[in-house]
Amino acid sequence: MSTLDEIMPISVRVWWTVAGFLALLGLWLGVSHSGLIEARMLPGPETVASTILRLMHESFAGSTLQEHLVSSLGRYLLGFGLAVLIGIPLGLMMGWFEWLDDLVTPFFEMLRFIAPISWVPFAVLWFGTGIGGPLLIIFSGAFPPCLINAYRGAKMVDKRLIEAVRTLGASNYRVIKDVLLPGSLPSIVTGVRLSAGIGWQSLIGAELIVVSSGIGYLMVQGQANFATDIVMAGMITIGCIGLLIDFSLRVIEQSISRKWSQGGGSQ
């Protein structure tokens, strides 16, 4: 990181990013106004921008853009939260109890290859298109990184620390809570960040198919009405929110890993 900063000062690098963004915008503007592609197929950036503004106070597919977003976020937080709440403790426990590791790992390894979107038929059959189905789909995307990173983190904790607390009379619960959890925190936070991203992607996938509100649903309705501008507005919203989620978790991740390397996370 520092080497790149030395060769190219931060301000220069920011300008490159801005330039890339402007070039893309310019290209989009140019092509959409060139008459090469029908405006209905490729609305210009200014049209999409005004569509976003319009969707914010005019309802489409039953709700305004914010309302769709809130319902998406609610569903997302539920599925993602559940993945974190189950994935981290289970991962840590698998890192500690060998029998649990042997019990869960084979199933998990198999389930891992079923992409979140492949859960859709099953999720609908079992949990319907209300909250249950989408929840399972988000969960199936967000769960593995939480589990795997907690598990790997726990496995990498200094064995001597574990032995030390065991000789002090620590129960299994204490080994997990007081040694494995703090010891694998950097790895866990990385897992949570990955899981947040995959969860967000899976959510939209789920919404495209199973629900009656949310950004995904808004896009499907846009498509049904041949409103490319609405579809693109939805995509931009998804991208921006995803970026925001990732950015905030990156900040947390960095501050934790900085603390850990300072605090001598291990000897």
Partner 1 sequence: MSAIEFHNVGRKFGAYEAIADVSLAVRDKEFIAIVGPSGCGKTTLMRMVAGLEFPTEGRVTVNGRVVRAPGPDRAVVFQQFALLPWRTVRENIGFGLTCTGTAASEKRKLVDHYIKMMHLDGHADSYPHQLSGGMQQRVALARSYVIDPDVLLMDEPFGALDAQTRTVMQEELVRLARDNPRTVLFITHSVEEAVYLADRIVVMGKKPGCIREIIDVSDVRTSEAWQELGIDEVMDLPSFVHLRTRVWRLLRSQMDDE
Tell me how far, at minimum, the Cβ of 164 lies from partner 1, in Å: 4
Q: How far apart are CA 187 and CA 184, in angstroms?
A: 5
Whole-angstrom CA distances from 262 to 156, 258, 266 are 18, 6, 10
Residue 255 contacts partner 1 per CB under 8 A: no
Point out which span in 48-56, 57-65, 174-182, 236-244 binds partner 1 (CB under 8 A): 174-182
**Contact call for residues 205 and 117 (beta carbons, < 8 A):** yes
Q: Does 168 bind partner 1 (CB under 8 A)?
A: yes
- Which listed residue (54, 152, 155, 174) binds partner 1 by CB under 8 A? 174
Question: Encoding tokens for residue 180?
Answer: 């494995």
Nearer to partner 1, 132 or 182 (CB): 182
DSSP 91-121: HHHHHH-HHHHHHHHHHHHHHTTS-GGGGHH
Interaction of residue 177 with partner 1, rule CB under 8 A: no
Instruction: Quote the CA–CA distance of 123 and 121 in Å, as a whole number.
Output: 5
> In the bound complex, what is the minimum distance in angstroms from residue 53's beta carbon to partner 1?
48
Q: What minimum distance in Å lies between the beta carbon of 39 and partner 1? A: 59
Residues that bind partner 1 (CB under 8 A): 158, 160-161, 163-171, 174, 178-179, 182-183, 262-267
